[in-house]
Amino acid sequence: MRITLTRPDDWHLHLRDGDMLKGILPETTRDFGRAIIMPNLVPPVVTSFDALQYRARIIDLLPEGDDFLPLMTLYLTEGTDPEDVAMAAKTRTISAVKLYPAGATTNSDSGVKDIDNVMPVLEKMAEIGLPLCVHGEVTDPSVDIFDREAAFIEHVLMPLRTRLPELKIIMEHVTTKDGVDYVNSAANTAATLTTHHLIINRNHLLVGGIKPHYYCLPIAKRETHRLALVQAATSGNPKFFLGTDSAPHTDPNKESACGCAGVFSATNTMPCLAHVFEDAGALDKLEAFTSLNGPAFYGLPPNTAKITLTQQDTPVVFPAKIETGDGPVTLFNPDFPLFWRVS
């Protein structure tokens, strides 16, 4: 079997910097035309100048002849200048701003502690039509880690939506039925879904021993939530689109007493998704999820290039690890054989 799709985009991607960037960048550019690049470097990408410099470093490392387009974001802090954001948007230096609750995930310590302190920025974004990408979890230690997405929706997102109904919001890496239901109900709101959250539940992480390469934030949830994500992804609903949240960490940093959160899936995402959509009887919806819905929400045209996925009789062999100058990075293992490949 062969299916041809508009070349996909990744609307949530971590590329890191330096030797790690050099090592893992080709794993995305091989299949994807564009990607929203996360700004949580050390130090983070907080100004338009930072974004210009980071984009230049990415472009300098592109494989020869590659037309991949990095879509940059700014890391929202309580000191972010609304006018700098507006200037960066006007010059198309950035495509969105990213809200990290302080301490929610990797390199998020500079994030937002009180959303009231960033309202001038959010008001400016609503005025100019610049999207806000949200890591949707509270960091209150009294809230169970499996409930933090639902608590964020109730205590942060719903009040923000009431205050700024015109602000375009992307609730990134949704992991719960609560998130799916909220996105379905809210105007000017969309969601990205990751490859790994469509495939794993919390049993993959915890049963038979802790599996560090399945540890991510937001953490994988119950099977009932995974099924809700699959239904949303395969429905054709334009509110849902692919954001892999592919997040490389070297093996020593994952396989440690306090391992880093993140799943690296750039290399095999499209074959994994073809499996998921075929299993759901929804291969005809794969193009919308990977290639059409995201550009439509961001106000961009779809890519003009195409890719072809071919199904073969024997399992496709992917590398277990990607070797980088920073160290080895383990590739996401979906825990089932993959028979699809990008040809």
pLDDT, residue 110, reads 76
Residue written as tokens 């205050």?
163
Query: Residue 127 CA to chain centroid, in angstroms?
Result: 25
Report strand pairing: 340-342 vs 306-311.
antiparallel
Q: Measure the CA–CA gap between 23 and 324, rounded to whole angstroms.
A: 4
Rounded CA separation 23/4 (Å): 28
Residue 105 has pLDDT above 90, yes or no: no
Q: Give the integer Cα–Cα distance in Å for 24 and 20.
A: 6
Q: Is the pLDDT confidence value at 108 over 80?
A: no
- What confidence tier does 107 reach under pLDDT thresholds 50, 70, 90? low
Residue 323, helix vs strand vs coil = strand
Let me know if 81 is a catalytic residue. Answer: no
| Band of residue 99 on the pLDDT scale cut at 50, 70, 90 | very high
> Is pLDDT of 201 > 90?
yes
pLDDT score, position 295:
98
Domains of the chain, first to last: 2-342 (3.20.20.140)
User: In which band, very low, low, confident or very high, does the pLDDT at 63 lie, cut at 50, 70 and 90?
Assistant: confident
Query: If you search the block for the tokens 């095999």, which residue do you land on?
Result: 268
Which of 81, 245, 279, 284 is catalytic? The answer is 245
**SS3 readout for 165-178:** CCCCEEEECCCCHH
Q: What is the pLDDT of residues 66-94, one digit of tens each?
A: 999 999 999 999 999 999 999 999 999 99
Question: What average pLDDT does the segment 148-170 reach?
Answer: 97
The model's pTM: 0.97
DSSP character string of 242-280: E---B----HHHHSSTTPPP-B--TTTHHHHHHHHHHHT
Assign residue 188 a region (left: φ > 0; alpha: ψ between -120 and 50; beta: otherwise): left
Query: What pLDDT, on the 0 to 100 scale, is given for residue 103?
Result: 73
Structure tokens at 2: 């062969």
Backbone torsions φ then ψ of 115, nearest 5 degrees: -65, -25
